[in-house]
Amino acid sequence: MSVRLSIEAEDGHARTGVLSTPHGPVPLPTFMPVGTQGSVKGLSPEEVAATGARVVLGNTYHLWLRPGAEAVATQGGLHPWSRWPHAMLTDSGGFQAFSLAKMCKRDNDGFEFRSHLDGRRCRLSPEEAVRVQRLIGADIQMQLDVCAPGGSPLPVLREACEVTTAWGKRCLDARTRADESSPQAQAMFGIVQGGTDVALRLEHAAELASLESGGRRFEGLALGGFSVGEPIPEMHEVLGEVVHRVDPSRPRYLMGVGTPRDLLVAIGAGVDMFDCVLPTRNARNGQALTRDGKLVIKNARYKDDPKPIDPDCGCPACAGGFSRAYLRHLFMCGEMLALRLMSLHNLHLYGELMGGARAAIREGRFASFQRAWLDRLDAAEAD
């Protein structure tokens, strides 16, 4: 088995169900914390799982460069090495080609990187991306894709779609029958590009949905190339027009997005899976996320504040009684405990949002659930 999608309830375009994987069931919709180097920064696997996460994301590009895919494979793969017992997804390196554009060149065969670690030249082709992810051993691997910057003209967006489709077929070709017959077989997701052009997005989604190689096809479809510089309201509008029209028989994954508002809008559009560095990165920069907006812990107003980050939150920071004043003190002193507690808080918030959304969809009240969250966020931003 690789992965299997079971939809249990729908409410409008929002849907809930289970994604069965070799490492256990994943309730949908779900948020995947990002473990760039093979761990979610500062947190143990047990702590991450306690936030409700049942999938984490590993970064193919970074693990490819250090310690190397072969080194991970000699440890039995990333699951046993990192001690993460649940499902795992690896990206392909396509986004790193976008974000590290000054150190990367693209041709028809793939990307040539100059390593940010030591300057050596490294070539990442579709076949190499599949090989590396196979060695890392995640439950779900992503095809290598081309991500165009936000605001790109139509010819650039179309070229990104065409190359991504060609590389998608090569990724499917690179999968072996031995992989698929294994009880630990990896699934592979295709990545839909097209910027904010609705027609192009739908065209590319249909093209990838129909793509086959030797009877093999993508088990899921991801939406890439969002939150890369385009106006956020425009992204929300496009998601509302596109997501529910992407093949409903496969999981839909929105890559690299985003804020609680983004997640609420996207769930309503029909997205099943999310990842983003935002909750943990923002925590390490002293920003706690709450239902009432952002709380920047270094602000002087919290110097003597005895309240927890969120009195209604059940995370270890809030339920544990750590005050804003204490967290501010730790943060200003550079103490790691502040970063850990705030990371746990932010991931716990995302876990509660996902769990609440699943319950609301099952009970046919997602619109009111979404509206209540958005109203509180709107009020906080207007304050």
Tell me how far apart the alpha carbons of residues 41 and 277 are, in angstroms, rounded to a whole number.
Answer: 10
- DSSP class of residue 301? G
pLDDT, mean of residues 226-232: 96
pLDDT at 350: 98
pLDDT of residue 182: 54
Nearest alpha carbon to residue 32 among 263, 295, 250, 231:
263
Q: Which pLDDT score, from 0 to 100, does residue 178 have?
A: 46
Are 245 and 345 found together in one domain?
Answer: no
Q: Name the residue among 204, 228, 199, 236 with its Cα closest to residue 218.
A: 204
Q: Are residues 11 and 133 in the same domain?
A: yes
Contact 41, 343 (CB under 8 A): yes
Average pLDDT (47-55) is: 98
**Confidence check: pLDDT of 248 > 80:** yes
Q: How many domains does the chain have?
A: 2
* pTM, full prediction: 0.96
Q: Give residue 96's domain range.
A: 4-276
d(CA 122, CA 158): 27
- Of 222, 257, 276, at which residue does a domain stop? 276
Is residue 57 scored above 90 in pLDDT? yes
Question: Average pLDDT in the 304-320 region?
Answer: 97
pLDDT tens digits for 183-215? 457 999 999 999 999 999 999 999 999 999 988
Q: Please give the pLDDT value at position 185.
A: 77
Residue 227, pLDDT above cutoff 60: yes
Per residue, the 3-state secondary structure of 46-87, as one string, reads HHHHHCCCCEEEECHHHHHHCCCHHHHHHCCCHHHHHCCCCE
Burial, 343: exposed, middle or buried (Cβ in 10 Å; 0-12, 13-18, 19+)?
buried
**Shared domain check, 309 and 236:** no
Statement to judge: residues 137 and 256 lie in one domain: yes
142, containing H or E segment: strand 140-142
| CA-based nearest residue to 72, from 8, 161, 136, 142 | 136
One domain for residues 255 and 290: no
Whole-angstrom Cα distance, residue 249 to residue 219? 9
Give residue 176's pLDDT: 63
25 within 8 A of 19, measured Cβ to Cβ: yes
Please, where are the H alpha helices in the chain?
Answer: 45-50, 60-65, 69-74, 78-82, 94-99, 126-136, 154-174, 177-181, 198-210, 232-242, 260-269, 278-284, 316-319, 324-333, 336-362, 366-382
Q: What is the CATH number of the domain that holds 27?
A: 3.20.20.105
Cβ count within 10 A of residue 69: 21
Which residues are the active-site residues? 91, 275
Residues 206 and 293 in one domain: no
Average pLDDT across the chain, whole number: 95
Do 267 and 304 share a domain, yes or no?
no
pLDDT in the model for residue 251: 98
Distant-in-sequence, close-in-space partners of 295: CB < 8 Å, separation ≥ 6: 287, 288, 289, 302, 309, 324
- Considering the domain architecture, whether residues 141 and 39 belong to the same structural domain is answered as yes
Q: Dump pLDDT digits (tens) for 120-146.
A: 999 999 999 999 999 999 999 999 999
Statement to judge: residues 132 and 227 lie in one domain: yes
pLDDT 10s digits, 79-127: 999 999 999 999 998 888 888 888 899 998 999 988 888 889 999 999 9
Boundary (domain end) residue, out of 211, 241, 276: 276
In one-letter notation, the amino acid at residue 207 is E
Report the relative pairing of strands 287-290 and 293-296 from DSSP bridges: antiparallel
C-alpha–C-alpha distance, residues 302 and 116, integer Å: 38
pLDDT at 276: 97
Q: Note whether 71 and 142 are same-domain residues.
A: yes
Q: How far is CA 284 from CA 53, 132, 289, in A?
A: 19, 29, 12
Whether residue 177 has pLDDT greater than 60:
no
Q: Which of 104, 17, 101, 23 is nearest to 58 (CA)?
A: 23
**57 bridge partner residues:** 34, 89
Q: Torsion angle of alpha carbons 227, 231, 237, 242, nearest 10°?
A: -40
